[in-house]
Amino acid sequence: MTTTETNVTSDENQPPVDPNAVTMSINGRSVVARKGELIIAAADRSGDYIPRFCYHPRMSPVGMCRQCLVEVEGPRGPMMVVSCMTPVADGQVVRTDTPQVKRAHEGILELLLTNHPLDCPVCDKGGECPLQDQAFSHGPGESRFVEEKRHYEKPIPISDIVLLDRERCILCDRCTRFADEVAGDALIHFTSRGNNTQVLTFPDEPFSSYFSGNTVQICPVGALTAKPYRFKARPWDLEKVESTCTTCSVGCRITVESSRDQLLRYQGVDSDPVNWSWLCDKGRFNFEAVASDARLDQPLIKRDGKFVETDWSTALRATAELVSSALRDGGAGSVAILGGARGTNEDAYAWSRLARALGTSNVDAQLGDGLPSVVYAYPQATIDEAANASTVILLGPDLKEELPVLHLRLRDASEKKRSKIVEFGSKESGLTRYAWKHTGHEPGQQVSAVRSTLTETAVVSQLGKGSVVVVVGRGNLAESPEFTMSALAAVMELVPNAKVLPVLRRGNVRGALSAGLGSGSAVEILERAAAGKINCLVLVGSDPLADFPDADLARRALTGVPNIVSLDTFMTTSSSQAQIVLPAAAFGEKDGTTTNLEGRVSQLSRKVTTRGTSRPDWMVAVELADLLDIDLGVGSVHDVFEQMVSTQSAFRPIDRTALKASPDGVLLAHVGSAPIASPVPDVPERAGFSYRLVVSRKLYDAGHNVANSPSLASLAPGAAIYLHPLDLDRLGAPAGSNVKAIGARTSVVMRVEADASVHRGTAWVPFNQPGGKVGELIDASALVNDVRLENI
Partner 1 sequence: MARLTEENVRLAREIIARYPRSRSATIPLLHLAQQQDGYVSNDAMVHIGELVGATSAEVFGTASFYEMFKFEPVGKYLVNICGTMSCALLGADELIHHAEHALDVKLGGTTDDGLITLERAECQAACTEAPCLQVNYRYRFRVTNESFDQLVDDLRAGRLDGEIPPHGTVARVRQRVAADRVVGAVAPADVADGPSWFDGKAAL
| Chain positions contacting partner 1, by CB under 8 A | 180, 185-194, 200-205
* Residue closer to partner 1, measured from CB, 205 or 270: 205
Residue type, 240: K
Residue type, 259: S
CA 720 distance to own-chain centroid: 25
Round to whole Å and give the CA distance between 246 and 346. 14
Round to whole Å and give the CA distance between 776 and 744. 9
Round to whole Å and give the CA distance between 92 and 727. 64
* Residue closer to partner 1, measured from CB, 204 or 293: 204
CB of 188 to partner 1, least distance (A): 6
Within 8 A by CB and 6+ apart from 271, the residues are 252, 253, 277, 663, 664, 665
CB of 108 to partner 1, least distance (A): 23
CB of 699 within 8 A of CB of 282? yes
**Measuring CA to CA, how many Å separate 38 from each of 28, 47, 53, 93, 144?**
18, 14, 15, 13, 33
Round to whole Å and give the CA distance between 154 and 539. 48
* Residue closer to partner 1, measured from CB, 201 or 439: 201
CB of 192 to partner 1, least distance (A): 5
- Name the H helices within 662-722: 704-707, 710-713
* Residue closer to partner 1, measured from CB, 106 or 185: 185
DSSP 8-state code for residue 202 = B
CB of 582 to partner 1, least distance (A): 48
Round to whole Å and give the CA distance between 157 and 170. 18
In the three-class reduction of DSSP (H, G, I as helix; E, B as strand; rest coil), residue 459 is classed as: helix
* Residue closer to partner 1, measured from CB, 531 or 756: 756
* Residue closer to partner 1, measured from CB, 148 or 204: 204
CB of 198 to partner 1, least distance (A): 9
CB of 318 to partner 1, least distance (A): 57
Residue 395: closest CA among 484, 499, 467: 484
CB of 757 to partner 1, least distance (A): 15
CB of 21 to partner 1, least distance (A): 30
CB of 176 to partner 1, least distance (A): 8
DSSP 8-state code for residue 700 = S
* Residue closer to partner 1, measured from CB, 204 or 631: 204
Burial 98-108, CB ≥16 within 10 A → b, else e: eeebeebbbeb
CB of 158 to partner 1, least distance (A): 10
In the three-class reduction of DSSP (H, G, I as helix; E, B as strand; rest coil), residue 200 is classed as: strand
* Residue closer to partner 1, measured from CB, 713 or 754: 754
Estimate the crossing angle of helix 345-358 against helix 637-647, to 10 degrees.
Answer: 70
* Residue closer to partner 1, measured from CB, 200 or 742: 200
CB of 203 to partner 1, least distance (A): 6
* Residue closer to partner 1, measured from CB, 75 or 203: 203
DSSP 8-state code for residue 74 = E
Question: E strands of 412-495, at which residues?
Answer: 420-425, 437-440, 468-472
CB of 187 to partner 1, least distance (A): 5
* Residue closer to partner 1, measured from CB, 160 or 384: 160
Task: Spell out the SS3 assignment of 510-544.
Answer: HHHHHCCCCCCCHHHHHHHHHCCCCCEEEEECCCH
- φ, ψ of residue 301 to 5 degrees: the values are -130, 140
Within 8 A by CB and 6+ apart from 233, the residues are 259, 264, 265
- Name the H helices within 162-295: 174-177, 212-218, 281-285, 287-290
* Residue closer to partner 1, measured from CB, 200 or 377: 200
Angle at 28 between CA 26 and CA 30, to 5 degrees: 65
CB of 159 to partner 1, least distance (A): 12
- Name the H helices within 238-304: 281-285, 287-290
- φ, ψ of residue 769 to 5 degrees: the values are -95, 155
Round to whole Å and give the CA distance between 395 and 437. 12
Round to whole Å and give the CA distance between 767 and 437. 26
- Name the H helices within 74-120: 99-114
* Residue closer to partner 1, measured from CB, 80 or 156: 156
* Residue closer to partner 1, measured from CB, 141 or 203: 203
CB of 286 to partner 1, least distance (A): 27
* Residue closer to partner 1, measured from CB, 188 or 530: 188
CB of 35 to partner 1, least distance (A): 23
* Residue closer to partner 1, measured from CB, 184 or 511: 184
CB of 152 to partner 1, least distance (A): 15
CB of 190 to partner 1, least distance (A): 5
* Residue closer to partner 1, measured from CB, 420 or 499: 420
Angle at 342 between CA 340 and CA 348, to 5 degrees: 35
* Residue closer to partner 1, measured from CB, 77 or 194: 194
Burial 8-27, CB ≥16 within 10 A → b, else e: eeeeeeeeeeeeeebebebb
CB of 754 to partner 1, least distance (A): 15
Cis geometry, peptide bond prior to residue 78 (ω within 30 degrees of 0): no
Round to whole Å and give the CA distance between 290 and 263. 8
Residue 553: its H or E element: helix 551-560
